[in-house]
Amino acid sequence: MFVLRMSRPDDVDALVQLGHKAGPGLTTLKPDPDAQGARLQRVQRTIAGSAELPEQGYLFVLEDTTSGKVVGVCGIEVAVGLDQAFWTYRMDTFVHASRELGLWTRMDKLHMSHGLTGYSELCTLFLDPDYRVNGNGSLLSKARFMFIGQFRERFAERICAEMRGYFDDNGESPFWKALGAHFYRIDFHEADRLVALGKKSFLAELMPRYPVYIDFLPQDARDCIGKVHKETEPARRLLEVEGLRLEQHVDIFEGGPVLEARIDDLRVMRDSGLCQVEIVAEAAADAPRQLVANGELADFRVILAAANVSAGVVHLTAEQARALQVKAGDRVRVMLQNPAK
């Protein structure tokens, strides 16, 4: 069985190993023990209530309960951009018209923006390729929404998710090559490394001062805008099912989409509910797949379980209850894995 749980300080080595597998473009999962250790300590301060708002964040890991191996990671930042600006490109459409000639054109532009300041952010989603089966990716992504539903008061009014952008077969970003490289004059991976280390001042110092006309970019760079990395396509679909959408913002490095939503409009706020646990000998053959989360903060846990719900009671097997560290009579949050049709 697989369980998503709150991270612990001793997860450093597991995060480093996942970082080696993640490759370029996933800024917050670099294989750096010091950086990952510092992040795990920040999570502990957030849980303890000693972290100031700009540094608050949560990190979760997906663990194989049989082997104890950590095979995935995901996170939530509480409020981005309060300490260092959270830069994106904002896409706007302008109309240029000549009354004398009777002509008009519609032009799309990119503006440097920090309009997402204060948003909560879904981040650091990565699942070991060897474990991308049997709904593990769905559990890893959707479990974060269960945490938000359980602890709504800990988050902002709106939430975003900066998706990993498109890279070609050579591991290069056409968007970066056509735009960012001209302003920052460093390799993409070096810029990515500096951001991962928290050295973001160069973004403001070297960024474009004026809007960028999208039509002036090469076609392969234009095609990148709002497009995700091939390994990120399933993650995007999962987030869209939960209520996030591309609105106006894209990543400044690769042009990947930044999905957004009001937290109170997310599916979890509408479709999840609290149920009392009842232990059964085995799950019913026709039981639907449910996300089930315990009510703990420091040891928050979520599983994907075949379980029936009736009259405010969820029927869990003893194994499922152990994975969640709950017992009969405890209250858990439950939501169908996929929206009811």
C-beta of residue 29 within 8 angstroms of C-beta of residue 73: yes
Q: Is residue 229 annotated as a catalytic residue, yes or no?
A: yes
The Cα 193–Cα 118 span in angstroms is 24
Residue partners of 243: CB distance under 8 A and separation at least 6: 261, 265, 266, 267
Q: Would you call 6 helix, strand, or coil by DSSP? A: strand
Written as one string, the DSSP assignment of 270-302 is HH-EEEEEEEESS--TTPPEEEEE-S-STT-EE
The Cα 131–Cα 18 span in angstroms is 12
Write the CA distances from 60 to 31, 64, 328, integer angstroms: 17, 13, 25
C-beta of residue 178 within 8 angstroms of C-beta of residue 217: yes
The Cα 235–Cα 245 span in angstroms is 13
* Nearest CA among 165, 140, 146, 159 for reference residue 73: 140
The catalytic residue among 20, 96, 114, 229 is 229
The Cα 307–Cα 303 span in angstroms is 11
Give Cα 313 distance to the centre of its chain.
30
The Cα 313–Cα 315 span in angstroms is 7
Residue partners of 216: CB distance under 8 A and separation at least 6: none
The Cα 266–Cα 234 span in angstroms is 18
Active site residues: 229
